């Protein structure tokens, strides 16, 4: 087992939490998603700046905390951006390599449209977004923990799990506004 296992276990638990209870705690869910985005963005370039792994981790956590606090304080913009980024990342992750600029253009367009719709329809879009991000985190981290390659039918599993999470949330959050 590698030393990174605790990170995958934590991410798996957070993913399951988002998948089934994201709307119930939408401000926390938005903060978590923005933390993940900030951590990911810093991790893209931190290796080129700092060689020490401890400092790389600290900088990634700081980036995550900064964007997490941003997501928690500016709710409507954060909902727009959270939904947009989640849909954009899902399109890129599920439909091709992140180096394809056409795919990036489509992903950004999908993200902007989803973000605009999210501001109009906050409840269904937050449920859908937290289910999508939760599904992604559960599947990616479960595959990593089990040391399995991504199956060819990954998109089917991803969409099915996201649908189950969204339906579960919708059913359990009918009375919550």
pLDDT in tens, 127-158: 998 999 899 999 999 998 898 988 888 889 99
Burial 96-111, CB ≥16 within 10 A → b, else e: eeeeeeeeeebbbebb
User: How large is the average pLDDT for residues 64-89?
Assistant: 83
pLDDT above 60 for 4: no
- Hey, how many other C-beta atoms are within 10 angstroms of the C-beta on 116? 14
70: Cβ–Cβ under 8 A, 6 or more apart, which residues?
34, 78
Give a yes or no: residue 38 inside a domain.
yes
Please state the domain count of the chain.
1
Report yes or no on 10 lying in a domain.
Answer: yes
Q: Output the pLDDT for position 3.
A: 52
Is 158 a member of any domain?
yes
Domain that holds residue 44: 5-172
Q: How far apart are CA 58 and CA 60, in angstroms?
A: 5
Please check the confidence at residue 1 and state whether its pLDDT lies above 70.
no
Q: Report how far residue 12's alpha carbon sits from residue 16's, in angstroms, rounded to the nearest whole number.
A: 6
Residue 111 belongs to a domain? yes
pLDDT band at 5 (very low <50, low <70, confident <90, very high): low
Spell out a b/e string for 65-88, using b for 16 or more CB atoms within 10 Å of the CB, else e: eebbebbbeeeeebbbbbbbbbbb
How far apart, in whole angstroms, are the C-alpha atoms of residue 166 and residue 161?
9
Element (H, E) at 26: helix 26-49
Side-chain half-sphere CA neighbours of 136 within 13 A: 17
Question: Does residue 95 sit within a domain?
Answer: yes
Contact at 8 Å (CB) between 131 and 88?
Answer: no
**What span, in angstroms and rounded, lies between the C-alpha atoms of 35 and 4?**
18
Q: What is the pTM of this model?
A: 0.66
Name the nearest CA neighbour of 150 among 163, 141, 160, 161.
141
Cα separation of 13 and 7, whole Å? 10
Residue 9 lies in a domain: yes
For residue 56, being part of any structural domain is answered with yes
pLDDT at 37: 84
- How many Å apart are CA 171 and CA 4, to the nearest integer? 35
* Domain annotation covers residue 177: no
């Amino acid at each position: 087992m590698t030393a990174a296992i605790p990170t995958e276990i934590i991410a798996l638990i957070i993913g399951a939490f988002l998948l089934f209870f994201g709307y119930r705690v939408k401000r926390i869910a938005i903060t978590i998603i923005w933390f993940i985005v900030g951590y990911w963005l810093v991790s893209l370039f931190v290796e080129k700046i700092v060689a020490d792994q401890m400092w790389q981790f600290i900088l990634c956590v700081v980036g995550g905390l900064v964007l997490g606090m941003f997501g928690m304080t500016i709710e409507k913009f954060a909902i727009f951006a959270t939904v947009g980024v989640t849909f954009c990342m899902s399109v890129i992750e599920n439909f091709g390599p992140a180096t394809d600029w056409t795919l990036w253009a489509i992903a950004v367009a999908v993200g902007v449209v989803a973000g605009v719709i999210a501001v109009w329809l906050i409840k269904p879009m937050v449920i859908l977004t937290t289910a999508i991000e939760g599904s992604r985190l559960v599947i990616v981290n479960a595959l990593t923990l089990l040391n399995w390659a991504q199956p060819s039918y990954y998109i089917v599993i991803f969409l099915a799990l996201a649908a189950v999470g969204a339906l579960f949330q919708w059913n359990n959050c009918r009375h919550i506004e």
